[in-house]
Amino acid sequence: MRTESSSKRRFRRASLLLLLLALSGCDLLRLFSIDPADGKTEKAAAKKPAPPGKHSFRQPPFTFCYDFDDLKRDHPLFKDLEGLRDQIAKELHVPAGTTPIQVYLFEDQPRFEKFMRATDEKLPTDRRAFFMAPQRPMGGAADLLVYTFWGKNDRIQQDLRHELTHALLHSVLREVPMWLDEGLAENFELPPETRGVNTTHVECFRRAIQDGTFKADLARLEGLTKIKDMNAAEYREAWAWVHLMLHSTPEAKKVLRNYLTQLKTNPYPGALAPRLAEVFPSPAEALKKHLLELDAGEPPALVPPR
């Protein structure tokens, strides 16, 4: 059988490509164009340290990845995390997320910090854990990623519960307002038996109430849009508003649950503060009363990493 020469085949392919470019316009041109920065990007990616991946195990919807050899899959911490998804779904009336969540456990803090700096130099340097949901280049659902370190981290259970709460919420809601995202994570970062009571937050609020410096303004909190504006005081207040709605009256809990139901389909359902004001004529006074009635007690015993 007679065949074309290789030079003729290359010519036909080149002609076809030029025809496609001419017919499709700038979109396809962009697809085939060469970005001068691509070389730099590839070099930077080559220098970036890899996340842990020597070992892994699944505990749906989580996959835990790590490089060190002495992590035990039957550790009490993982048993605790088994119930987190169902706890969140039950208390908030949101679906139990099934989207895969990748959890990277670094052996120690230096390895964790080195990787996070290489990932994004703008990330805060005083954090023990991060949740990220980077969009995929060609669209589609975002990857849900959690990073933290295992060794010499006495708050590993709290950190994982906090960041995995973020991941689980983002797996079932179209959007989560920043203050609410952090307030919910602060509530679910402690074991279920605590009923979300953060003793450190409670004592701080009680001192402020006693010395007359207590302030609570949900509308101001809802207006914050940048993570750099969320400092310790904002995290604390976000926790307090969420705790008030979850653990005060059925009407307040309904406000929160209805708002989250809207977030399943509508990323911008409006402000929550006016809805809460329909339940409490003076939300700030209701919050103060709630905080004074909480039994702070002793902080719960957390599961040690090893």
Residue 167 pLDDT: 98
Average pLDDT over residues 28-34: 31
Least confident of 100-109, 133-142, 242-251: 133-142
pLDDT digit string, tens, across residues 79-125:
999 999 999 999 999 999 999 999 999 999 999 999 999 999 989 88
- pLDDT for 223 beyond 50: yes
Q: Which amino acid is at 110?
A: P
Least confident of 29-33, 73-77, 252-256: 29-33
Q: Region 129-144: what's the mean pLDDT?
A: 82
Question: Average of pLDDT values for 162-190?
Answer: 97
According to DSSP, the β-strands at 129-132 and 144-149 are: antiparallel
Kindly state the average pLDDT of the residues 45-63. 90
| 2 pLDDT more than 90 | no
- pLDDT at 6 > cutoff 70: no
What are the domain boundaries of the chain? Answer: 48-172, 176-306
Q: What is the DSSP string of 130-185?
A: EEE-PPPTT-SSPPEEEEEE-TT-TTHHHHHHHHHHHHHHHHH-S---HHHHHHHH
Predicted pLDDT at 249: 97
Residue of 28 and 4 predicted with greater confidence: 4
Per-residue confidence at 135, pLDDT binned at 50, 70, 90? Answer: confident
pTM value? 0.82
Regarding the domain delimited by 48-172, which CATH topology (the fold level of the hierarchy) does it fall under?
Glutaredoxin (3.40.30)
Whether the per-residue pLDDT at 8 is higher than 80: the answer is no
Select from 166, 162, 170, 206 the least CA-distant residue to 186.
162
Tokens of 152: 């010499």
